[in-house]
A and B are shown apart, each in its own frame.
Chain A
Amino acid sequence: MAKNNLQGTLDLLVLKTLAQVGELHGYGIVLHIQRASGDLLSVEEGSLYPALHRMEQSGWIASAWGLTDTSRKAKFYELTPEGRRQLAAAEKSFDQLVKGIRTLLRYA
């Protein structure tokens, strides 16, 4: 049985983004999710930060202050090995959720 909720989905999106892009700040994560999903997904920008900090406390991601391309100060996040494991688990769980919902929708 897939364990999932909206929060879990946000975690998955963030972890996957960091896995694809590497180091990134919060605003960058918002932009990447929107762009990489073909504008289908948009994150409520503020709600990203409690999630980021929660994941950092869980040891899935690590943060450091740095400078952006436009020399602006921003906090950059990157995946930890623990976060990589979490991402794998979250992807699997999400696949099951999608498969389960799709099966249910096709049920006739």
Chain B
Amino acid sequence: MSLPRRIANLFSRSRIQADIDAELRSHLDMRAADNIAAGMSPGAARRDARLRFGNPTVITERTTSADTALTLAGIFADIRFAARQLRKSPGFAWTSILTLALGIGACTAIFSAIKPILIDPLSYPHGRQLMMLWEMGSGGGPRNVTFGTFYGLAERTREFSALAVMKAWQPAMTSADRPERLEGQRVSADYFRTLGIAPILGRDFTPADDRFQGPNNVILSDTLWRRSFSADPAVIGRQVRLNDTLFTVIGVMPATFQNMLASSAELWAPLQYNPALPVDGREWGHHLRMIGRLRPGVQPAQAIGELNAILQTLA
């Protein structure tokens, strides 16, 4: 049935009511007239017409409800009744209102906190392809990966288009007007490519940057670029002193880049580990966090199976 029309009819209910009354009356009149023509007295004719017709009030009501969404009018009446009842017992009303308010407020607050973390997709291109990867500790719990694990997997994986590792880095920058301790990350060469975000200025890290004793290059966040370098586009190629070492600025990330994995990080330098060291050496330990980007169409379970198989061969 056409619900919109029936709802619209609610607003012209009196007109519709009059129309229905007229229609039903014309029916009774015609029946009565026929009865008179058949020889009944006017009184008996009317009575017979009524009897054949049924209860006019009920018929009118049912006909009206065929034309209008009467349930809506009914709901409105219920709401008014409820409001009157609540006004009559304010204690009960306020208890209910407070209970509902606290309950709804708590649910909303928890949901708002959880939604960006658990429900929203990551703000990276094809965020669903991204996975955090952990080694399994002896107790079965997640454990940070070693550089050996990362290196071995990155060389061999087919199901991931890119793997990257990162660790926290807090260099002190002394080249600006005043020294500043910064939050940053040392990352493997493919870090930004894995996330799917490229620098807006300059260039991304390459494998040539991320090698043992490679060049000291650094990429800045948009906020750091604006704060300490006045958003100067000529910053590319400038030298900055970090932890008493000169680094060359090679790139600036876009302002839209949200670094989910270390939200306060403002600059990035390559990891520059030495893969020639023994993979089980204590130099590395379990201290790296790893992310991977699945190839399009690859299921997480499939990729995890592949990583496990590779790890067997590495061990």
The bracket for how many chain B residues form the interface is 20 to 34
B135 at the interface (CB under 8 A from A): no
Residues 13 to 69 of chain B near chain A (Cβ within 8 Å): 19-20, 22-24, 26-27, 29-31, 33, 52-56, 58-59, 62-63, 65-67
Chain B interface, >50% SS class: helix
Option from A49, A53, A57, A75 in Cβ contact (under 8 Å) with B2: A57
Q: A44 contacts B54, CB within 8 Å? A: yes
Question: Total contacts A to B, CB within 8 angstroms?
Answer: 72
B113 at the interface (CB under 8 A from A): no
Chain B residue, CB-CB nearest to A49: B63
B315 at the interface (CB under 8 A from A): no
Q: How far is the CA of A49 from the CA of B53 in the complex (A)?
A: 10
Q: How far is the CA of A74 from the CA of B58 in the complex (A)?
A: 21
Cβ contacts A37-79/B at 8 Å (1 or 0 each): 0000000111101111110111100000000101011110000
Residues 187 to 240 of chain B near chain A (Cβ within 8 Å): none
Chain A residue, CB-CB nearest to B49: A45
B167 at the interface (CB under 8 A from A): no
Other A-B pairs beyond A25-B26, A47-B62, A73-B26, 19, CB < 8 Å:
A25-B27, A25-B30, A26-B27, A27-B26, A44-B54, A45-B31, A46-B58, A49-B20, A49-B24, A50-B59, A50-B66, A53-B20, A53-B63, A58-B2, A70-B33, A73-B22, A74-B26, A75-B22, A75-B23
Q: Which residues of A contact B (CB under 8 A)?
A: 25-27, 44-47, 49-54, 56-59, 68, 70, 72-75
